[in-house]
Amino acid sequence: MKKSTVKKMLNLLLIFTLVFMNYSTILVKAESNEVVAEDLFISEYIEGSSYNKAIEIYNGTGDPVDLSNYELELYSNGATEASQSVQLSGTLEHNDVFVVAHSSADAEVLSQTDLESSAVANFNGDDAFVLKKNDSAMDVLGNIGTDSDYAKDITLVRDASVTQASSSYNEAEWSDYAKDTFAYLGSHTMDGAGGEDPPIDPGDPGEEYSIADARELSDGTAVTVEGIVTVNNNAISNGAQFSTYIQDETGGINLFAFEQGEIPDLAKGDRVRVSGELDSYNGLKEVIPTSIEVVESGQELPQAQSVTLADLQDSSVAESYEGELVQLTGFINDIPDSPAGGGYNVSLIDSDFNGTTLRVMENALDMSLVEEDRWYNVTAIVSQYNAYQLIPTEQADIQLADEQPEPPSAAGVYESTVESVVDGDTIHLETPVLGGTKVRFLNMDTAETYTAHNDDPARDEINANQKAFGEEAKAYMNELIQPGDEVLVKIGEEPTDDYGRLLAEIIRQEDGMNINLEMVREGLASTYFIAPFNEEVYPTYQNAVKEAKDAGLGIWNPEDPLLELPFEFRANDDQKGFLRYVGNSDTMEYVMPDNWADVPVEKRVFFASEEEAESYGYTFVGDDDGSTENLSVQLLSMNDLHGKIDQEYELDPDGDGTFSTYGKMDYTAAAIEAREQTNPNTLIVHAGDMIGGSSPVSGLLQDEPTVEIMEEIGFDVGTVGNHEFDEGTDELLRMVNGGEHPEGLGTDGYDGMNFPLLCANCVYKDSGNTVLPPHYVEEVDGEKIGFVGVITQEAAGMVMPAGIQDIEFTNATEAVNESVAELKAQGVKSIVLLSHIPGEQNGDTVTGQVADLANAVDDEVDVIYAAHNHFVNNGVVDNKLIVQASEYGKAFSDVDLEIDRTTGDIVKKEAEVVFVDQSKVTPDPAVAGILDKYANQIAPIMNEVIGYNATDLTGDYSNDGDHGLGNLIADGMNAQMDSDFAMMNGGGIRDDLLAGEVTWGDLYNIQPFGNTLMMFEIKGADLYPIIEAQLSSVYGPDYSISGFHYTWDPETSSVVDVTLPDGSPIDMDKTYTLTVNNYMGTSTGSKYAPIGELGENPVMGPSDLDATVDFVESLNSSEANPFEYGPEGRITEGTAEEDPPEVVVAPKDNNGTATVHTEDLEALGSGVRVVIDIQNDKKPRKLLLNKKQVDILKEKEVTLTVTNGEKYAEFIMQEFSGKVLKVSLHDSNGKGFKKH
């Protein structure tokens, strides 16, 4: 037990006076005129890092107290019964304290400890304490029965004005300090208690430092600093406290004392010399002054530095400005009605919704002269109260900006880090977003964890049930995201709720998981949509909750359900009843609040009033406006079949470890037909690439068998992909219109397609007319549905230029909008876009070209089919449903539409991608018959064995280096043309070659396009641009190669070197021959163009398939002696190393933090290595580079080496993510080093 040190005096004379006045009474009983407490109370709480946990109990009663009658209890995690307790013992003198701490706490804590207890002192920020006397609760810290982080990672000190214990926790009685603040432990001040120890002699005023150097020192260090006062202390001080800021040419710092006492008033422009002790409060660096000398007055203030609110979001940048005057522009969107704690906390944001708090003290300026919803130019001091904030100093510091742009929108996606999980739908963020750290999850609602307020015994079961499911949701949330996890915070147009919490979806950065949606999918949350809401994500959440409910997951478990949904529980618990009207998004009707259960959860939308519901187009359920029922239409679709009508695939589409067989069109046709039977209003459509790159059973017969199967299934309309143009425009039109192939290929009596093929952006160059119809209207039960077809413009670089030389692919968006305008003019309001344009989906988000198209086209388009990249998509962009169903007949999509018969518009849309598991389908006999007929026709060719393969050969593009299949094909091309080199594009390799017999049909499936070999003459030097053109910065190499090896640098996407297979270099001036296929040799796309541009004297050869067949036969393999191919190191990664020039930059001549002249950095050349030696004979120095200097080094692509002559740290500045760079080559003991 230690005596209390109450105050720190300001000058030596006052110290001596107090010593002689009070020292003789230190151990004497308190005099009768002193203020005394009735009993002991808790005076301090420490919840620090690791085991730094302590509780301090104070005796201000005026008499010694026997502790054997007292007990300290711990209530953990919202418990209503004590989890741990400890009996106190001994005698506690008046004005002394008793400290209970964890036995593994730091020595600084244990040095003040009276009782070590690893039980009761093992707590977190959500636990409560009770001090009992003779089994009666006297004093309470925290809220018993409530699990909330009211005191996490902080030190709490009871205010000096508190003189009595309290049986209920009052947050206002406590002051909070930063984590691991131990300075107040072991003593306590109570106003009027007397019996003070003599004040501590301030001793040596400390070494003189620049402010920047002083800021780098640890708290408790005695310093002397000099600077210009930037704010009158009486403008920002609160009550009897003293606070101001000073600034020199290196930085700024706060001066603070709890009582001004003898400290003189300071005014702007005073140059002062301050001696005192460094301290930190809620992150703000301070000097606690022991003496202040005004050296001179009327000095010019430091110039305010221009910053942005984005700068203040970066702690490293903001810290470099702390204590200094800055200028910036921001939007004030909210001013509190009254001050709190002596000032106003005013929200200041920018156009990107970076935000901070303007802390405007009452005496600094008149806030009634500042209007909300205006842009202002603000001059202020950068301060900190756990987060960085700005302190204006006078009225002139907040000036209305000349330009007043539109108010900023909060909607967007922000990066942050999880600090803690509060419950199943609330978390705290470590990094503020829009100035806030508490997030209420949007679109979902989990059971409550708080102790029920309505204690009616009839609700006991309901209350227990609610809390149990709430704890389960919280536990699962703790599995999904944990403190330190990086997340994306997705905020809509309304960023906060009435409680100031951020309303957001939380996306886990490591894998893109939408946490809100995951809670719904797992049945641990109900959906909860309150207008206004995001209509794009609405179907995704509602589909998820329906699936969870149908599966009986979590709160929907029929054997143990959640008895009251969270909103229902809250309404009954606070006994205010139901207040919101409830809409049915299916029927577009709403019901009275008490009739909410009439609307299924997956259709439920909440409105504040009837007027709001009707503004969204809802009508009251009792109203009968005579409207007819909506028309239900089903669209079934495929894409990217590629004539794989007979192929089968072993897949695990659900990722659950169960593989089944998918594909083969007799099965897919049967599944489509079965789904068609569920709705008489069904149309079957496709999004292109249904032919081309096909199986032999289709490809050898010009893909006419595929068209025959499509007609058997009953396709109604489709569009073209790039592969429909594989053999040119004329052949495509023959496929559409019918007629015999000019070379007699194909089937007998081919009569074309019996359904329209559309393309709005396929036009003839000479006339501008479309090659195919741009759009088509189908009437279903009296309602018109318009279809528009488009293809990606990139198709021009994916097919033989000679075959499409008379046509071009125009801008898809413009073509769509032109067709939509024509359809609308015909009265068509339900419009579907068939696009052979790719997209990809991550979680709920669809991105890529098709998403860009969705955002750009007329909003009358309701559904967009995607294709080309063989992905699965089922999402919404700009209220347009985007659907794509895999590839090769493995799956189809089912889109269900509802069309308002009054308006003719689509009012509802949802999709499902259906993978066709053969084990669950009986094949369609008609399609099976077509397959058998053509399989028999081509069997003699297909089944011819031409070799034997030892291992499975897989691969297409050479992204990860060369592979066996590509090497085999390229070697065959080289051998066929007797050339020096050969290259094969990865997109032309369409199947794998499995171990065992190699048939002609196997090789056809690998190279189905019928391309022709071309040989060019090139110079050795030409290989470099040809190779580099096919190197993707994202995916790496494309081509397989033969006759040479090369090394490439992934960082620069450039060739390092090219050699012959024996390692000898290519002769740059020698003429070599290079074989490619005619697709590569004639294409004008950037990847292929260098081949035709640099190659000379082209020579045509046989088909690429014939070359591969001949080469495999030449290997003379047998079942006993199969050929072997694999990776050979033909394509490798590497870097070309070159040492950059070295430049030494000398730091400024000072003994504190080492800094450099900005002009020295500006003079540097690009790409140099900079060496800064911070060696100092007097004492070790740190290096500090400010934001401007860091930006210069990044821009100049500098490699920075910092050394002290013995150790060094190296930084590649382009890779450095910070904005301010601090480097120390010593630890706190002046030893050791951490290499960067």
Ranges of beta strands (E only) in 50-162 are: 53-59, 65-66, 70-75, 84-87, 91-92, 96-101, 115-116, 128-133, 136-141, 155-158
Report the relative pairing of strands 757-758 and 1045-1049 from DSSP bridges: unpaired
pLDDT digits (tens, 9 = 90+) for 843-897: 888 999 999 999 999 999 999 999 999 999 999 999 999 999 999 999 999 999 9
Q: What is the pLDDT of residue 27?
A: 28
Q: How many other β-carbons are positioned within 10 Å of the β-carbon of residue 1233?
A: 14
Single out the residue of 683, 684, 702 nearest to residue 692, CA to CA.
702
* Predicted confidence band of residue 345 (pLDDT cuts 50, 70, 90): confident
Is there a contact between 634 and 895 (Cβ–Cβ < 8 Å)? yes
DSSP code of residue 617: T
- Is 53 exposed, middle or buried, given 0-12, 13-18 or 19+ CB atoms closer than 10 A? buried
> Residue 750 corresponds to which tokens in the numbers above?
């081919």
Q: Which residues contact 1180 (CB under 8 A, 6 or more apart)?
A: 1204, 1224, 1225, 1226, 1230
Specify whether the CB–CB gap between 708 and 746 falls below 8 A. Answer: no
Instruction: List, in order of start, the domains of the chain with CATH numbers.
Output: 12-177 (2.60.40.1260), 207-300 (2.40.50.140), 303-406 (2.40.50.140), 412-533 (2.40.50.90), 631-927 (3.60.21.10), 945-1133 (3.90.780.10), 1142-1223 (no CATH)
Which range, 408-422, 770-784, 1086-1100, is most confident? 770-784
* Cα 1088 from Cα 820, distance rounded (Å): 36
pLDDT attached to residue 768: 94
Phi, psi dihedrals of residue 385, rounded to the nearest 5°:
-140, 80
Contacts of 111 (CB under 8 A, 6+ apart): 186
What tokens does 1173 get? 């030696």
Under DSSP, is residue 1086 helix (H, G, I), strand (E, B) or coil?
Answer: coil
If pLDDT is split at 50, 70 and 90, which confidence band does 1177 have? Answer: confident
Q: Share the mean pLDDT of the chain.
A: 89
Nearest to 633 by CA among 862, 880, 906, 896: 896
**Both tokens assigned to 1184:** 């500090």
Cα 844 from Cα 399, distance rounded (Å): 44
Side-by-side strand order, sheet with 96-101: 115-116, 96-101, 53-59, 41-47, 155-158, 174-177
Does the pLDDT of residue 2 top 90, yes or no? no
Q: What is the pLDDT of residue 500?
A: 59
Other residues' Cβ atoms within 10 Å of the Cβ of residue 436: 20
Three-state secondary structure along 482-511? CCCCEEEEEEEEEEECCCCCEEEEEEECCC
pLDDT at 147 (0 to 100): 80
Q: What is the pLDDT of residues 447-476, one digit of tens each?
A: 999 888 888 899 999 999 999 999 999 999
Give the strand pairing for 486-496 and 502-508.
antiparallel
Of 412, 926, 480, residue with least CA distance to 666: 926
Burial of 881 (0-12, 13-18, 19+ CB in 10 A): buried
pLDDT tens digits along 278-293: 999 888 999 999 999 9
* Confidence at residue 649, expressed as pLDDT on a 0 to 100 scale: 87
- The phi, psi pair for 793, rounded to 5°, reads -65, -20
Burial 951-987 (b: 16+ CB within 10 A, else e): eebebbbbeebbbbbbbbbbbbbbbbbebbbbbbbbe
DSSP 1089: H
Amino acid at site 143: N
What pLDDT, on a 0 to 100 scale, did the predictor assign at position 498? 53
Arithmetic mean of pLDDT, 367-376: 90
- The conformational region for residue 953 under phi > 0 = left, psi -120 to 50 = alpha, else beta, is beta
pLDDT over 90 percentage in the chain: 67
Q: Tens digits of per-residue pLDDT, 100-115?
A: 998 888 878 888 999 9
Could you give the CA distance from residue 1163 to residue 1148 in angstroms, rounded to a whole number?
A: 16
Full DSSP string of 821-849 = HHHHHTT--EEEEEEE---EEETTEEESH
User: For 341-353, what is the mean pLDDT?
Assistant: 82
What pLDDT was estimated at residue 386?
A: 76
Beta pairing, strands 136-141 & 155-158: unpaired
Enzyme catalytic residues: 440, 448, 501
The Cβ of residue 744 has, within 10 Å, a number of other Cβ atoms equal to 6
Instruction: List CB contacts of 976: < 8 A, sequence separation 6 or more.
Output: 1013, 1075, 1101, 1102, 1106, 1107, 1110, 1111
Indicate whether 1064 pLDDT > 60.
Answer: yes
Q: Do 788 and 761 contact (CB within 8 A), yes or no?
A: no
| pLDDT for position 1074 | 98
Task: Check residue 1098 and give its pLDDT.
Answer: 87
Q: Tell me the pTM.
A: 0.43
Question: What is the residue type of 403?
Answer: E
Q: Residue 202: its pLDDT value, please?
A: 37
Question: Where does 1095-1205 have alpha helices with state H?
Answer: 1104-1114, 1158-1162, 1187-1195
Angle between helices 925-942 and 704-713 (to 10 degrees): 170
Are 1107 and 1014 in contact, with CB atoms under 8 Å apart?
no
Average the pLDDT over 799-804 and give the result: 86
Identify the helix (H) or strand (E) that includes residue 355.
Answer: strand 355-361
- CA distance linking residue 980 with residue 1016, whole number of Å: 10
* Per-residue model confidence (pLDDT) at position 355: 80
Give the pLDDT score at 1115: 96
3-state DSSP: the chain helix, strand, coil percent, rounded to 5?
25, 30, 45
For 31-52, the pLDDT digits (tens) are: 345 678 899 999 999 998 878 8
Neighbouring residues of 574: CB distance < 8 A, sequence distance ≥ 6: 453, 454
